[in-house]
């Protein structure tokens, strides 16, 4: 049973895994397994695999996207990729502000904000990741951290553009650790995210924004999250690399 009017979106984040051959093979394996799925399925694939993945997903409802982009339209930025290059390759969305980008590649809220604005300009749907570290949670800084991330990363975004946004709540301590947040923690924090979004864009707009949970989601725990009112979908890393496991997660969404 659907809890709200919001779409349920399950996103796979393949990170730096899968060659073109592996990516297309996995998509072909996944398609028949999710034939009757009621969730919308997004796959964030490596840059090199975008075009071939779009081709492999043709005729299915899988939406292909990217995991990062530069905030400039184009320029002398060796090794970087522009939004318009992603859309040309067929990407429809882009993950921005993932904690691995923030932690390993020093992306600040300001940088993420520029990327969000550029993505919107280029017609790419931003999937904005927010989440607190273990230390921040232990020091009761979760809400302050998340509010600051949302305020700063979404500065200058209009309410109209915000309706197309996806926010992914990913507690940093839960990513790739098997230490998934409890559904209670996820529900409570995502309720808080929606409150912050309401302050930024108004209640009506905030109620339209899909908020996903991410961090050690597995076929075993997916259902528990999806039963929560504030959890409109999942952002899945490790478990999305296996077509079988990812399909089990997708199929745990009841229509
Ligand atoms: P995980 O990763 O599911 O492997 O914890 C989630 C993510 O990084 O988006």
**Nearest atom within ligand 1 for CA of residue 239:** 3
**Nearest atom within ligand 1 for CA of residue 215:** 5
Q: What is the DSSP string of 221-244?
A: THHHHHTSTT--EEEESGGGGSHH
> Which protein residue has the closest C-alpha to ligand 1 atom 7?
237
Q: List 11's β-bridge partners, or say none.
A: 42, 235
The pLDDT tens digits for 169-180 are 999 999 999 999
- pTM for the model stands at 0.97
Range 232-253 average pLDDT: 97
Measure 55 CA to ligand 1 centroid, in angstroms: 25
The pLDDT tens digits for 2-57 are 578 899 999 999 999 999 999 999 999 999 999 999 999 999 999 999 999 999 99
Strands (E), 74-217: 93-96, 125-130, 166-169, 210-214
- Torsion angle defined by CA atoms of residues 174, 231, 117 and 81, in that order, rounded to the nearest 10 degrees: 50
Per-residue pLDDT at 195:
98
Residues near ligand 1 (Cβ within 6 A): 13, 170, 175-176, 214-217, 235-239
**Alpha-carbon distance 108 to 113, whole Å?**
9
> Which protein residue has the closest C-alpha to ligand 1 atom 3?
237
């Amino acid at each position: 049973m659907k809890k709200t009017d919001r779409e349920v979106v399950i996103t796979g984040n393949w990170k730096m895994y899968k060659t073109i051959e592996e990516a297309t093979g996995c998509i072909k394996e996944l398609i028949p397994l999710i034939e009757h799925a009621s969730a919308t399925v997004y796959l964030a694939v490596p840059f090199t695999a975008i075009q071939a993945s779009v081709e492999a997903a043709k005729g299915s409802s899988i939406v292909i996207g990217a995991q990062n982009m530069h905030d400039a339209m184009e320029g002398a930025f060796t090794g970087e990729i522009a939004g318009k290059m992603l859309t040309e390759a067929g990407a429809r969305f882009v993950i921005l502000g993932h904690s691995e980008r923030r932690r390993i590649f020093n992306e600040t809220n300001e940088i993420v904000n520029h990327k969000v604005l550029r993505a919107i300009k280029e017609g790419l749907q931003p999937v904005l990741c927010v989440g607190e570290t273990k230390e921040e949670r232990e020091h009761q800084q979760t809400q302050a951290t998340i509010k600051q991330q949302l305020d700063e990363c979404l500065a200058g975004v209009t309410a109209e553009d915000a309706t197309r946004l996806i926010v992914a709540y990913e507690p940093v301590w839960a990513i790739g650790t098997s230490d998934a947040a409890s559904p209670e923690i996820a529900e409570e924090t995502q309720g808080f995210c929606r409150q912050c979004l309401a302050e930024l864009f108004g209640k009506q707009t905030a109620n339209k924004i899909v908020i996903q949970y991410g961090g050690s989601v597995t076929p075993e725990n997916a259902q528990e999250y999806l039963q929560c009112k504030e959890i409109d979908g999942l952002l899945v890393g490790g478990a999305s690399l296996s077509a079988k496991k990812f399909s089990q997660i997708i199929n745990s969404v009841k229509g």
